[in-house]
A and B are shown apart, each in its own frame.
Chain A
């Protein structure tokens, strides 16, 4: 146990030293005051997307980077979150805040249902299963009349902006702060998680599951825990995004591109590293938004060509992601023994 866990503990990438923490606090303060300078709605929108994808990629990073299992249909949890809060609000008038919580519960239940049979086995079974799940959810929701089938649901507009209904019509700033809060809390919690006992055990399972299990770690149980945590992180982003655009439909909420993007951003930034997803998101989201502005909608295929190409190049030349280009001392925890 000692060697596997020690190895996990000494692994630098999930830890952070004091300089980095100071920089992070400064960054957070900067992000809090950013809307006060009156940026144009486009920049607020850009930041909102960055926060959202940063959380979504971090969710994928928990299952893939921390426990070593590849999910190819992670968009399903996004859609579950979006549909739970929207259906509850549209059909029963329940506040989206409660919807967000229930969405997390549903996502967790689905993750448990999938995880128990799939995560006992080698990673290929799980990867294939998640690919099937991602498409199955879309197929089911396209034909489910109660939730609007293929045309989806419109979230009715409130008269005025309302925190209770989570709708803001005058400014994007409240959305900005909500997404920022989720982003900050998620990163803090995942950082805590990665330095907790569960985090060490998860990495031990990822690096050598035979050694881990011979030391009494219940391998499949820990993989399921990671999957559930990952699903719980993903679901609220779906709910919030539904509130942000005020419509849910199967093609948008269960889009395969979501699953592709979270994978790509994490791998690009650095899989298994808590800052990896953020790096990937900070690079890709502005590029994709600006190309959308300057090149216009071209059917969406050109960006996917590059995403696929980038993914292959990273896998071949830099499997540790772009973050591995940073100087090592920034990523290492200070020696405190």
Chain B
């Protein structure tokens, strides 16, 4: 096994890792805010990819240009999710909360399968195509730009949460809902914003992935599983933890696939999850 192949695996692991990081950040934001794990996260990703695909197929908009629309659509989707489902189960037992978002995931996936059939689709001749070669390592252009955009979105999300007034209000609500309300921060509005931003992140990742990934109804399942693991590894509710966790998972996935057997990628990620839970259950940057 030559050095080039390993370098290749590391580069592609890094690139997918950044995408996982952004998807996980959306999940982590929602979890940190209201202690609810969105088990429909993968389905939301699938919806964002389909949104981007249909904007291309019906209106001829390249996925790169439709990114703002995809983000807005997903943010709207997040607000609607909060308004129609989540706000009713805020005070319910964790058991019921998990069942509700799990029900949402079944519903969205089945509805998508009903509307769009389980066919695999892809975008023909997107703007971003081809690959670049640097020192014998090939980098796919769409993958490269997808990871760059995700990293940029991640940085913006981080700055938003830590530097802006709304972001600080979000953090205040996450820390102590009642105290924040006394200070005049309406928690319901914050939750809606959290869902909007959380799924907006998914919209960025989904929109960029549409350039090179197959679009089908089960596409979100594995991404969501990796995002769950990333959130646990980074520490539930920690956003910066997601960045490191996403990269670690991306690397383990691609190196494990290269060195052992690519058909068991899910198991390597599962192994990380087990290790985290056994040795560092609070995660790398966890609050718990």
A121 touches which of B109, B228, B277 (Cβ 8 Å)? B277
B278 at the interface (CB under 8 A from A): yes
Known A117-B277, A132-B273, A308-B107; judge A139-B96 contact (CB<8 A).
Answer: no
B159 at the interface (CB under 8 A from A): no
A303 CB to nearest chain B CB (Å): 8
State whether B85 touches A70 (Cβ < 8 A): no
State whether A128 touches B99 (Cβ < 8 A): no
State whether A309 touches B273 (Cβ < 8 A): no
A158 CA / B236 CA spacing, docked (Å): 54
State whether A135 touches B225 (Cβ < 8 A): yes
A198 at the interface (CB under 8 A from B): no
State whether B114 touches A305 (Cβ < 8 A): yes
A68 touches which of B37, B95, B273 (Cβ 8 Å)? B95
A70 CA / B99 CA spacing, docked (Å): 8
A148 CB to nearest chain B CB (Å): 16
What residues of chain B lie closer than 8 Å to A70, measured between beta carbons? 94-95, 98-99
State whether B228 touches A316 (Cβ < 8 A): no
Residue of B nearest to A260 (CB): B106
A143 CA / B92 CA spacing, docked (Å): 41
What residues of chain A lie closer than 8 Å to B85, measured between beta carbons? 312, 316
State whether B274 touches A72 (Cβ < 8 A): no
A310 CB to nearest chain B CB (Å): 8
Known A129-B273, A139-B267, A319-B93; judge A121-B98 contact (CB<8 A).
Answer: no
Known A136-B270, A315-B96; judge A129-B106 contact (CB<8 A).
Answer: no
- Give the dominant DSSP class at B's interface: helix
A123 CA / B264 CA spacing, docked (Å): 26
State whether A127 touches B98 (Cβ < 8 A): yes
What residues of chain B lie closer than 8 Å to A118, measured between beta carbons? 277
State whether B228 touches A131 (Cβ < 8 A): yes
What residues of chain B lie closer than 8 Å to A308, measured between beta carbons? 103-111
State whether A299 touches B118 (Cβ < 8 A): yes
Question: Which residues of B in the span 70-126 have a Cβ within 8 Å of any Cβ on A?
Answer: 85, 88-89, 92-100, 102-111, 113-114, 117-118
What residues of chain A lie closer than 8 Å to B236, measured between beta carbons? 124
A311 CB to nearest chain B CB (Å): 3
B232 CB to nearest chain A CB (Å): 6
B234 CB to nearest chain A CB (Å): 13
State whether A315 touches B113 (Cβ < 8 A): no
B155 at the interface (CB under 8 A from A): no
A32 at the interface (CB under 8 A from B): no
Known A70-B95, A301-B113; judge A128-B100 contact (CB<8 A).
Answer: no
State whether B113 touches A311 (Cβ < 8 A): no
A128 touches which of B89, B95, B228 (Cβ 8 Å)? B228
B277 touches which of A129, A303, A311, A316 (Cβ 8 Å)? A129
A64 at the interface (CB under 8 A from B): yes
B2 at the interface (CB under 8 A from A): no
A309 CA / B106 CA spacing, docked (Å): 8
B99 touches which of A117, A135, A267 (Cβ 8 Å)? A267
What residues of chain A lie closer than 8 Å to B100, measured between beta carbons? 311-312, 315-316
Question: Which residues of B in the span 39-56 have a Cβ within 8 Å of any Cβ on A?
Answer: 39
State whether A312 touches B92 (Cβ < 8 A): no
What residues of chain B lie closer than 8 Å to A140, measured between beta carbons? 264, 267
A147 CA / B221 CA spacing, docked (Å): 26
B285 CB to nearest chain A CB (Å): 16
Known A124-B37, A308-B107; judge A316-B98 contact (CB<8 A).
Answer: no
B167 at the interface (CB under 8 A from A): no
A1 at the interface (CB under 8 A from B): no
Give the size category of A's interface with B. Answer: 35 or more
Residue of B nearest to A304 (CB): B110
Q: Indicate with 1 or 0, residue by residue over A68-79, a CB within 8 angstroms of chain B CB atoms.
A: 101010000000
B140 at the interface (CB under 8 A from A): no
B105 CB to nearest chain A CB (Å): 7
Residue of B nearest to A139 (CB): B266
Residue of B nearest to A266 (CB): B99
A72, A117, A143, A302: most-surrounded residue (chain B CB, <10 A): A117
A263 at the interface (CB under 8 A from B): yes
Q: Indicate with 1 or 0, residue by residue over A59-72, a CB within 8 angstroms of chain B CB atoms.
A: 00000100010101
Known A135-B225, A136-B267; judge A312-B273 contact (CB<8 A).
Answer: no
What residues of chain B lie closer than 8 Å to A133, measured between beta carbons? 270
B263 CB to nearest chain A CB (Å): 6
What residues of chain A lie closer than 8 Å to B31, measured between beta carbons? 124
Residue of B nearest to A303 (CB): B110
B186 at the interface (CB under 8 A from A): no
State whether B89 touches A316 (Cβ < 8 A): yes
State whether A309 touches B114 (Cβ < 8 A): no
Q: Indicate with 1 or 0, residue by residue over B255-286, a CB within 8 angstroms of chain A CB atoms.
A: 00000000110110110011001100100000
B39, B96, B110, B281: most-surrounded residue (chain A CB, <10 A): B110
A89 at the interface (CB under 8 A from B): no
A131 CA / B98 CA spacing, docked (Å): 12
B9 at the interface (CB under 8 A from A): no
B257 CB to nearest chain A CB (Å): 13
A309 CA / B104 CA spacing, docked (Å): 7
Given A123-B98, A299-B114, A305-B107, output 7 extra A-B contacts at Cβ < 8 Å. A128-B228, A128-B273, A131-B228, A260-B102, A302-B110, A311-B106, A312-B103
10 smallest CB-CB distances across A and B, nearest first, come from: A308-B107, A311-B103, A304-B110, A308-B106, A315-B100, A301-B113, A312-B103, A305-B110, A316-B88, A128-B228
13 contacts between A and B (CB under 8 A): A72-B102, A128-B232, A131-B228, A135-B221, A135-B225, A139-B264, A267-B99, A304-B106, A308-B106, A308-B107, A312-B107, A315-B89, A316-B100
